[in-house]
Amino acid sequence: MVCAVPERAADSALARSAHTRAHRRPHRRPRFAALSYPAKVGAAPSHGDDGFLTRAEAWALIGCQPLAQLSNQALLPSLGAMRADLDLSYAELGLVVAAFGVARLCVDLPAGSLGSRWNPRSVLIIALAASAMGSFGGVLASNGWQMALIRFVIGIGSSVAQAMILAWIVGGSGRLARGRVLARSEALFSVSGLFIPALGGLLAGPLGWRVAFVLGALAATAGLLAIALGTRPSSAARAVGLSSSSGSSGETVTGDGWLDLRSGGSVLLVAYLATFIVFFCRNGMLNAVVPVLGVDRFKFQPFEIGLLFSVLNAIGIGAVLFGGRAADRFGRHRTLLPALALHALAQTLLIAVQNPVTYLAVGLFQGVACFVNPLPTIVMGDALAPRLRPRGIAVYRAVCDVAVLCAPASMGLALQAGGFTAAELLNFGTSAVILTAVALLYIRRSSDSGRA
């Protein structure tokens, strides 16, 4: 006689069998995968690398990314009008322009310590308030020294704000969505770079150049309200590994030291090398040499160069979004090396530019190479424990600013010494060296994982 097994009992037996097989199956960790590092004794408890940002918080942070420095973008078309109105010499104008970048470079590393010791939400609100007050001061400035001081304050606010936003996004979005969220953040920042200068120039005609600072003050204030009303202190505290009580109360917490970044190992080094080459090529060859090449060698008009860069940036925004999604889908480390190879290929093709057709084709291909842009930040977030990410992001931003400052100068020296060929070879050589170093680090990491 066959006894019928009740349906619930059968389902339970099948579930237990599947659970047993899952535990017997050996767990295989992906090669070159990010490790989870234990917290130090006495440190705040480390939270799991899962996503806990709400949709409203994620979009508030993404939207605030360009707001702290919006006045800097809006002022670009009106620098000539500002110089004439304030009767500035060219040296004074250079001082005013440089003050913003110098402030960012000076504050990048200290911003990492702020994010490790205090709640990033509180620091971000203060930074946005400083940017708003600095922009309001730009409306009242009456000479070059005052304007340089105002832009220095705005640069400090911008640097601290972006460091806090990055630390919050990287820690709060989790491994499964980090690529998409960071890609959207960078894409929105790029979109703002397309229309904010145009808006500033359009309004400067009837309202004067100081309208750029009015826009900056309004934008920073809007960002401050979005963070204050649309985010939680506990979310920011968890993003950097602080306890909710210390994060919400504003209590100072002793964080891990700078030397603890060594725990990121070769993964973190790869992220920084990739960051340097992305910003070096973008701000050196692409933004400085390519426009001059089009005018001097192929006699393109400024309008045609501007149209090329508009289309290039539109392609680049799409490539950035696709890069973030591909990183989440296929793995950050599997995606980074091919993306760097694509980027190096784009730099190599610049050597082959011989006529207007190849100039346009290779120029547009630079937008496709923007696929790599969000990947270094994602890899850096995977390499570090939450408590170390603010300092890791501070070093990342310092690497960015060093590349931004040295790229135009090095390209200018190369152009002066050997013309466009020398600049193209310098750009290609730098890309090839970085790609080779990253590939060797990948091979070393894979061999170490295999022995382990």
CA–CA dist 56, 77 (Å, integer): 33
The band of 451, judged by pLDDT with boundaries at 50, 70 and 90, is low
The band of 243, judged by pLDDT with boundaries at 50, 70 and 90, is low
What is the pLDDT at residue 30?
37
> For the packed helices 389-451 and 375-383, what is the interaxial angle rounded to 10 degrees?
80
Say if residues 121 and 244 touch (Cβ distance below 8 Å): no
Domains 53-253 and 256-452 are alike in CATH topology: yes
pLDDT reading at 39 higher than 50: no
Q: In this structure, what is the dihedral angle of CA atoms 256, 259, 260, 265, given to the nearest 10 degrees?
A: 160
Give the CA count within 13 Å in the CB-facing half-sphere of 434.
Answer: 29
Summarize pLDDT for 308-327 with one digit per residue, the tens. Answer: 888 888 899 999 999 999 98
What is the pLDDT at residue 310?
82
Summarize pLDDT for 403-426 with one digit per residue, the tens. Answer: 888 888 888 888 888 888 888 888
The band of 256, judged by pLDDT with boundaries at 50, 70 and 90, is low
Across the chain, mean pLDDT equals: 80
Instruction: Tell me the CATH architecture of domain 256-452.
Output: Up-down Bundle (1.20)
Which class is domain 53-253?
A: mainly alpha
The single-letter DSSP state of residue 32 is T
What is the pLDDT at residue 449?
66
What is the pLDDT at residue 452?
57
User: Angle CA(47)–CA(52)–CA(53) in degrees, nearest 5?
Assistant: 130
CA–CA dist 154, 131 (Å, integer): 5
CA–CA dist 374, 336 (Å, integer): 10
Q: What long-range pairs does 22-30 form, CB within 8 A, spacing at least 24?
A: 29/449, 30/331, 30/333
Q: Which of 25-39, 81-95, 234-248, 356-370 has the lowest mean pLDDT?
A: 25-39
Q: Enter the tokens of residue 281.
A: 């090529």
| Cβ neighbour number for residue 430 with a 10 Å cutoff | 20
Q: Which residue has the higher pLDDT, 49 or 36?
A: 49
What is the pLDDT at residue 415?
83
**What is the average pLDDT across 364-390?**
89
Q: Which residue has the higher pLDDT, 1 or 165?
A: 165
Summarize pLDDT for 104-136 with one digit per residue, the tens. Answer: 888 888 888 888 888 999 999 999 999 999 999
pLDDT reading at 8 higher than 50: no
pLDDT reading at 229 higher than 80: yes
What is the pLDDT at residue 16?
46
**Does the predicted model carry a pTM greater than 0.85?**
no
Domain locations along the chain: 53-253, 256-452
The band of 214, judged by pLDDT with boundaries at 50, 70 and 90, is very high
What is the pLDDT at residue 386?
83
**What is the average pLDDT across 211-237?**
92
Q: Nearest-CA neighbor of 108 among 406, 396, 407, 386?
A: 396
Q: Which residue has the tokens 């220095």?
A: 152
**What is the average pLDDT across 191-197?**
81
